[in-house]
Structure 1
């Protein structure tokens, strides 16, 4: 069985850092809490697909002299984009001009409408990610504005999500990790079996209770 050398010698934590990313972009608004939002870019641990999560701000908490935002992660909005949707957004970013891209995910488990809105604020480009969904029967809106550097990071994550090179890296890395985990498990089992077998062999060699003919047959069997 071939084991790819890409991840050879790396610790499990390092492999996870490479394969399974989790990048939050936090935009609190402590003056108007309803406008605060957190957007998280993360990878699926089963498929490697890019998952986008959005959580609304619901309040603040004090930590010493700091006032930190708190978010409603329990009622977060999660979605993925198809390779073509991702590529369309990437092209929109690369050819930046005010405008709007709309994606209707009507067939999703929780239907939602996703808008990517390009605009300029104080001569700086910005991009709004807006999702209109439902919490049960209650309409709920998630919205966050990204600045120029955050837009660039968002773009690169989208590009990697439909890159064959990333998919290949993910599959090979996951394969190597699973192989090593299985190999380690089997190695432990074989060691345990070897210990038991050696104990039995020692018993056969030294026990006065074991029949001489039986001893001979066991030793012949083990020598094959």
Structure 2
């Protein structure tokens, strides 16, 4: 028997508030979305971190972003091993079915997943190194990025550099997907890399021409 229980009262109260205000004021738009389906222009791959709220940052309305969130906003390399791959499935659906025009990877400051990767790669997190750690095996994706910044001695500076490497590794891995490359060659898809400073509210974007992140 499933052990699910009713929502906590504060969430139920917030739902009723949303239904009475936001939904009621935009009911026709919600009904249109339900009847005509979704047609988002962009896919946003961001971290699970509760402080990263991409729809608020970019003022996105319902139906505008196809959003996938995971630990440390990582994209694994393409594989056709027949396994169950949630992030890859979301990317395939966004590009091949929804035909999004943009795939955006957004990293952020003070990321717990990035910190865990740094500690694991430095031998300071044996629990993450364990074969049974779901988080550890997921952030293995970022090990090549850690090798690039391993020479930075200051912990805070290395962590910040690794946060941006997570975006770059994900962009690199996106290009290993055949359907991504096909869409890019057709000119129907572009990739973008962003990094958010949570405390300052600054967003930087990666420039392939300069090889650096710069404010937008």
* TM-score band, normalised by shorter chain: under 0.3
Which structure is higher in RCO with an 8 Å CA cutoff and minimum separation 6? 2
Higher percent of residues as helix: 2
Higher percent of residues as strand: 1
Please identify the structure whose Cα radius of gyration is greater: 1
TM-score if structure 1 supplies the norm length? 0.23
